[in-house]
Structure 1
Amino acid sequence: MLLGGYILLEDKPSNVLDNTFSYDPIGLIRTPFDSPDGMPIQPTGADSVTGTVKVEESYADGLTDLAGFSHCILLYHFHASGDDAPLQVEPFLDDTQRGVFSTRAPQRPNRIGLSVVAIESVTGQELTVTGIDVVDKTPLLDIKPFVPEFDIPSDVHTGWLDASESKIDSERADERFL
């Protein structure tokens, strides 16, 4: 069944998950972090960290008008997270195994990352951003403007984090994220 150009899974053969998709990076994210060891876990732990996002020349026109936004969403490939993608992980802020899809752990079946960063400037092919929490030379997949009216739901629950007794004692990666 087609819905807005998408095929709904219940109408696909059972091997639909065997399909592969390929994305070409549109640029590169440059940061001061050579490895995941000790880098910020989320953008909130990296609020003073500056990085650059350089898109390929063929995508530079796509940056037009982005400077009018205070923040953007970067989608990228976790190139340094390793190939192991367990479905249960011990997340930051907890000491209990959780389903990977209820965490922000970088070890994921498709190794796609997301960060909301502040835009400092847009010049030519390059964005200067703050709040960047990724390893240097991370392949960039896409950029989207952050729009609070679209991106912040009014009624939010944070699952196991709501009940977690863990305290934020560190905003840096540890051995769980290497």
Structure 2
Amino acid sequence: MSDYSISAIGHIQSPYKQKFAIPRQPRLVPEAKAKLIFAPEFNREEFIRGIDEFTHIWLLFRFHGTADKGFSAMVRPPRLGGNERKGVFATRATFRPNAIGMSAVKLEGIEYKNGQLSLLLAGIDLLDGTPIIDIKPYLPYSDAMQDASAGFADTRPETQMSVEFTPEVTYFIEQQTQHPDLLNFISNVLKQDPRPAYKKQKDGEQSYGMTLYDYNIRWQVNGEHNVVTSIEKS
């Protein structure tokens, strides 16, 4: 088997600062905005000329947060509650031989600021700092296969999770102006129920924390109800 060397063309500047709470697929949280910051070698308009004619793009990336942990032939997909094993090539698990992933995301614009070229993206599901190794335009007539089926992941994951914010948290979010969709963003992240599968089987109140953008957020889960109890600058 031949070895190949692949260099990143850029990296993602994402609101997700830790693996916990990242949606398990792209576009499940539309409010998740990000930037693709091009590396110096590719920081030229020629590389993306015409890309603004497309509404969505494919990102090929490296799972840099787990690449050093190696790979497994069998994994436990969260969609199956972590109770059933599948072959890694039958899943989108992170523990892959080459640690390569892909996401179809919305392209919202192009930014050129202080000499830095960036793509503005939405519906992202990538950890902050993720290396991007390629970009391809999304082609609806070819990429969206209407007669396709997807086995154990055939339907969009849905939960019955509800989300409530304490008055203090709501006031804090309403006063900040940097992220106008912050309340909806937090709400939709929690509606995806980011807890590990084994935690979902436990009864009683559970407390969690996550970092989105530069905010530390804490919430409590009781059954299928979330209460966001605190938010503060990290």
Paired letter, 1:161: A
Report the equivalent of 2:85.
97
CA contact 2:57–2:135 (8 Å) conserved in 1: yes
Paired letter, 2:149: H
Distance in 1 of aligned mates of 2:124 and 2:141: 23
Q: Does 1:147 align with 2:139?
A: yes
Higher relative contact order (CA 8 A, sep 6+): 1
Q: Calculate the aligned-residue CA RMSD, in Å.
A: 2.1
SS at match of 2:27: helix
Q: Deviations over 1:34-74 (max 9, x none)?
A: 11111111113222100000112432221111111100001
| From 63, 83, 86, the counterpart of 1:78 | 63
Distance in 2 of aligned mates of 1:167 and 1:34: 23
Distance in 2 of aligned mates of 1:101 and 1:136: 25
Q: What does 1:49-128 align with in structure 2 at a 5 Å threshold?
A: 49-59=32-42, 60=44, 61-82=46-67, 83-95=69-81, 96-124=84-112, 125-128=117-120
Gaps of 5+ in 2: 160-190, 198-234
Which structure shows the higher strand fraction?
2
CA contact 1:51–1:128 (8 Å) conserved in 2: yes
CA contact 1:39–1:172 (8 Å) conserved in 2: no
CA contact 2:56–2:106 (8 Å) conserved in 1: yes
Q: Does 1:168 align with 2:189?
A: no
Q: Deviations over 1:108-131 (max 9, x none)?
A: 111001111101111232001001
| From 10, 25, 28, the counterpart of 2:11 | 28
Instruction: Tell me the number of residue pairs that the alignment of Structure 1 and Structure 2 aligns.
Output: 157
SS at match of 2:47: helix
TM, length-normalised to structure 2 = 0.61
> Which runs of structure 1 show a deviation greater than 6 angstroms over 4 or more consecutive aligned residues?
none
Paired letter, 2:119: L
Q: Deviations over 1:15-50 (max 9, x none)?
A: x2xx21110101111101111111111113222100
Report the equivalent of 1:12.
none
Q: Deviations over 1:132-175 (max 9, x none)?
A: 1011011110111101112122421212334x9x9633635545
Distance in 2 of aligned mates of 1:172 and 1:23: 34
Paired letter, 1:171: Q
Distance in 2 of aligned mates of 1:149 and 1:130: 21
User: Is 142-151 or 86-95 further displaced after alignment?
Assistant: 86-95
Report the equivalent of 1:133.
125
Paired letter, 1:168: E
Distance in 1 of aligned mates of 2:126 and 2:9: 16
Are the structure 2 counterparts of residues 167 and 78 from structure 1 closer, same or farther at C-alpha, using a change threshold of 3 Å?
closer
CA contact 1:63–1:122 (8 Å) conserved in 2: no
SS at match of 1:45: coil
Query: Which entry has the higher C-alpha Rg, 1 or 2?
Result: 2
Q: CA deviation at 1:78?
A: 0.5
